[in-house]
Amino acid sequence: MLNVLEHRGPDDYGLERGNNWMLGFRRLAILDLSPAGHQPMCTPDGRHWLVFNGEIYNYLELRRALEHDGVTFRSESDTEVLLQLLLRCGPSALSRLNGMFAFAFVDLTKRTFLLARDRLGVKPLYWYNQGGKLRFASELKGLLAWPDATRTINRKAVLEFLSLGYIPASSCILEGYGKLEAGTYAVGSLDRPTLNPTRYWSIDIAPGSNSGPLTTDQLSEFHELLADAAKIRLRSDVPVGIFLSGGIDSGLVASFAAESSAPPLALTVGFAEESFDETSIAQETAAHLGLKLKVLQQRAASIDDVDSLSWTFDEPFGDASALPTMLLCSAASEHATVFLSGDGGDEAFGGYRRYLEAARHGWISRVPSAAKAAGYALSQAMPLQSALRYRLAKATLPRDQMAAVFDGQGLTRDPALRSILPRDLLAQAGDVLDPVRVAWENGSALDPL
């Protein structure tokens, strides 16, 4: 199992086992590169053990608070800070963490375990909990390394992928396996291990909070939050870089990172096709910010790269940028260990064209039903491969606003495309948008964008 995960942590290897428990770890050293940061890590008395993937960005502030309370540390790692914090606070420590993480904390005296995942689910945690066994790993392939691992495809998850372009956090491509969801933790017994997650964090959305543009105070607060987020992520004992394109998002992150006493190396990808190449813009941005820039030429992908992509992600993932991103990260690893990027800006601020479907839904909903019915009938008379047929059918199908946004991403809601899928598969699927409906309804008071 640990050999399968070697690519995640090539710097160190650790395995500890006892009565009805075993913890293993592959380490990619970021903070405190010495053997003192070895994992699994335990308290001096050997009672409490921790394996922890990720980084606690505010570990220095937490460490100072713990030292003020009399705690003595043996290392300079964030792992030991987390261990000592969990020892004193248990699950309530999660509210004090600023970072990305997935960890397991074990108390051998009480015979209990605590599994937890960061608020946004940056770090993964897969699990298998059947036959009185609980296994967990950072990747699904780690669980499949066990000789008795089952490999039965979850048919509903296949439909979810075809509808959304990914497997939701509440599902897994294989039956019997799951993912600890973002912002949750689970406490259980080592002797009778079952997984009953508890949510410790969720986004609170206040009705009316989106009315009008941001105020000057709100913009100032956002500026401070983003600046602090970039600064605190530069804490590292290994080289840090930043992926810089010609876009606004990465340029903004780079501008904050450039203010550091040790500015990161900027990397950009050059393309032979001029329409894709943003090298000149990235060079201008880097020069303006005083960052050293390294240009990597994008090589052509091969069929072997596609195989590597499926192996890397474990589950189906329908993002066209995944392959070039994987190639970029592979090439970038020669220049730095940790990289910042501008990913996520479009998701947070409605930057993708598909989000306009919500607005279009509002316009189309005012069209009389008879006119929409006639429009749909007309679409069905058009050639199957016609782009106009697809657009007209989408515009006139009865659907709610959420479906309008997600229809553009998948296959399972268009009648013509549904016809190629097995009927028994469609019959057992139910509403494949259920996994995202809860999140949508939580923000129902907000503007769709």
Task: Quote the CA–CA distance of 116 and 181 in Å, as a whole number.
Answer: 9
Residue 270 pairs in a beta bridge with 297
> What is the spatial distance between Cα 130 and Cα 335, in angstroms, rounded to a whole number?
43
Q: Is 245 annotated as a binding residue?
A: no
Name residue, tokens 């608070």: 65
Nearest to 433 by CA among 408, 411, 402: 402
In the numeric block, which tokens belong to residue 421?
């899928």
Q: Are 252 and 277 in contact (CB under 8 A)?
A: no
What is the spatial distance between Cα 19 and Cα 419, in angstroms, rounded to a whole number?
54
Question: What is the SS3 assignment for 314?
Answer: coil
Measured at the alpha carbon of residue 158, what is the angle toward residues 153 and 161, in degrees to the nearest 5?
140
Of the candidates 367, 384, 352, the one whose C-alpha atom is nearest the C-alpha of residue 448 is 352
Instruction: Flag whether 341 is marked binding.
Output: yes
Whether 269 has a binding-site annotation, put simply, is: yes
| Greatest pairwise CA separation for the chain in angstroms | 77
List the structure tokens of 345: 């800006």
The reply, when asked if residue 178 is annotated as ligand binding, is no
C-beta separation of 65 from 54 below 8 A: no
C-alpha distances in Å from residue 120, one per residue of 98, 161, 183, 206, 243:
11, 20, 6, 19, 21
Show binding-site residues: 78, 269, 341-342
| Sequence ranges of the binding site for L-glutamine | 78
Annotated binding residues for ATP, written as ranges, equal 269, 341-342
